[in-house]
Amino acid sequence: MVKKILKENIVYLVLLVVLLLTSICVKTFFYDEILKFDSLISDFFQLNVVNNFNTSLMKIITFFGDGIAFIIIIMCSFIFLKNKSYSFYMMVNLLWTFLISVVFKNIIMRERPMVSLIEKPSDFSFPSGHTMCAVAFYGFILYLLCKCVKNYFLKWLIIFAFSMLIIFIGISRIYLNVHYFTDVVGGALLGLICLFMMINIYNKNYN
């Protein structure tokens, strides 16, 4: 079973390895240049966007990229959804994505920004786990909803709402200064790979 899944998703696994090797090369040879670029974006947020209202809002938004929020959603899906396979794949998707983020963080070992607007997490900075999991988790829910919803207007409304949620979760990590811009971009790319891989697994084993 595992061998079959790996074989069917070899493209996505290769992409993960390529991104890992690319990330290692960038950190090794271009870290100073990347840090300067990231610092410019972080400084822009801190000098021009930060205020009490925005900080309160971003703290709420970033919660939806937290593990607690994902667990609550999965638990509710197991309770209220008739089709438990949806809940199962949502759970597997989250665990798989989280595992990949941990692997990347502990290989790249990039330090987080020095000063943050919330308590700074103890793990490494690259990639942004909140962004990565948000892309994969909410992206998979979006995929399932689009398969079920037939109304054209409602479908695009759902796509817009989930897309905005994912984007603003990424922005919240930069705003709160717990991640750099490239952490969020890397998290988004990795999240997309994990998402497409899970969709492929779902379609091969469920449909």
pLDDT digits (tens, 9 = 90+) for 69-85: 999 999 999 998 888 88
Domain with 82, as residue range(s), is: 2-205
Q: What is the pLDDT of residues 156-183, one digit of tens each?
A: 999 999 999 999 999 999 999 999 999 9
Residue 85 pLDDT: 87
Q: Which of 105, 110, 112, 130 is catalytic?
A: 130
Alpha-carbon span 194 to 187, nearest angstrom? 10
Q: Average pLDDT in the 113-132 region?
A: 91
Q: Which of 87, 98, 179, 182 is catalytic?
A: 179
pLDDT over 70 (residue 137): yes
Q: Which of 31, 23, 35, 30 is nearest to 107 (CA)?
A: 23
- Return the percentage of the chain with pLDDT > 70, whole number: 98
127 included as an active-site residue: no
130 included as an active-site residue: yes
Q: Average pLDDT in the 8-17 region?
A: 90
Alpha-carbon span 143 to 10, nearest angstrom? 22
b/e code 53-74 from CB counts within 10 Å (16+ = b): eeeeebeebbebbeeebbeebb
Q: What is the DSSP letter of 176?
A: T
Q: What is the pLDDT of residues 77-116, one digit of tens each?
A: 999 888 888 899 999 999 999 999 999 999 999 999 988 9
The answer to whether the beta carbons of residues 195 and 131 sit under 8 Å apart is no
Residue 200 pLDDT: 92
pLDDT over 90 (residue 151): no
Task: Please state the domain count of the chain.
Answer: 1
The answer to whether the beta carbons of residues 198 and 89 sit under 8 Å apart is yes
